[in-house]
């Protein structure tokens, strides 16, 4: 029997969430977990009831904006942001939870996850952001490469 351990299981769930992404640049998924229970999921894409980039096109791509720059002109909401928003919408407490992400969180998502009170962040694909890593270290949140 080839049964996945918990970390593998939750990372696969994050990868499954990423399949719902509507971003043209990168598909990202995230899962919020506490006591081996999934509390919320998120993926990157436009806010609810807003037309997705797959229909409108990617403004950042059209403008030649590099990855990690000018987040404010993107229609999309990051997976981690959607994860915390979904938890808030449903009244789910995020404090002490772990997050499994397909990609290392950017600085904006890092700050949101710090304020959400998560204890650990597992990620699969590197998205090196030295400032984000420094803030996580200072906040004592464990950043774990899966």
Split into its structural domains, the chain has a count of 1
Instruction: Tell me what pLDDT residue 90 has.
Output: 97
Instruction: Tell me what pLDDT residue 43 has.
Output: 97
> Could you give the CA distance from residue 109 to residue 29 in angstroms, rounded to a whole number?
13
Average pLDDT, the chain: 94
Mean pLDDT value of segment 105-118: 96
> Could you give the CA distance from residue 127 to residue 140 in angstroms, rounded to a whole number?
19
Instruction: Tell me what pLDDT residue 104 has.
Output: 95
Which residues on adjacent β-strands are paired with residue 135? none
Tell me if 23 is assigned to a ligand binding site.
no
Instruction: Tell me what pLDDT residue 3 has.
Output: 92
> Could you give the CA distance from residue 94 to residue 80 in angstroms, rounded to a whole number?
12
Q: What share of the chain has pLDDT > 70, as a percent? A: 100
Tell me if 103 is assigned to a ligand binding site.
no
> Could you give the CA distance from residue 81 to residue 85 in angstroms, rounded to a whole number?
6
Pairing of strands 98-103, 29-34: antiparallel
Instruction: Tell me what pLDDT residue 73 has.
Output: 83
Provide the whole-model pTM.
Answer: 0.92
Range of the domain at 99: 6-145
Q: Which two tokens stand for residue 141?
A: 């949140």
Exposure string (b/e) for 52-87, b if CB count within 10 Å is 16 or more? ebeeeebebeeeebeeeeeeeebbbbbbbbbbbbbb
Instruction: Tell me what pLDDT residue 119 has.
Output: 97
Query: Residue 140's domain is classified under what CATH number?
Result: 3.40.140.10
Catalytic residue among 54, 62, 72, 80: 80
Q: Clarify whether 80 is annotated catalytic.
A: yes
Instruction: Kindly state whether residue 104 falls inside one of the protein's structural domains.
Output: yes
Instruction: Kindly state whether residue 1 falls inside one of the protein's structural domains.
Output: no
Instruction: Kindly state whether residue 73 falls inside one of the protein's structural domains.
Output: yes
Which tens digit of pLDDT belongs to each residue from 35-84?
999 999 999 999 999 998 889 988 888 888 888 788 888 888 999 999 99
> Could you give the CA distance from residue 146 to residue 143 in angstroms, rounded to a whole number?
10
Tell me if 58 is assigned to a ligand binding site.
no
């Amino acid at each position: 029997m080839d049964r996945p351990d918990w970390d593998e299981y939750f990372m696969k769930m994050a990868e499954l969430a990423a399949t719902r992404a509507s971003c043209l640049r990168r598909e990202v998924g995230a899962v919020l977990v506490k006591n081996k229970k999934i509390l919320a999921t998120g993926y990157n894409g436009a806010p609810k009831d807003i037309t997705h980039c797959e229909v409108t096109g990617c403004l950042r791509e059209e403008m030649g904006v590099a990855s990690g720059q000018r987040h404010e002109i993107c229609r999309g909401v990051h997976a981690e942001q959607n994860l915390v928003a979904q938890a808030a919408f449903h009244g789910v407490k995020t404090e002490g939870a772990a997050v499994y992400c397909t990609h290392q969180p950017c600085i904006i998502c890092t700050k949101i996850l710090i304020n959400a009170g998560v204890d650990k962040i597992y990620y699969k694909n590197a998205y090196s952001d030295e400032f984000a890593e420094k803030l996580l270290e200072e906040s004592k949140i464990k950043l774990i490469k899966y």
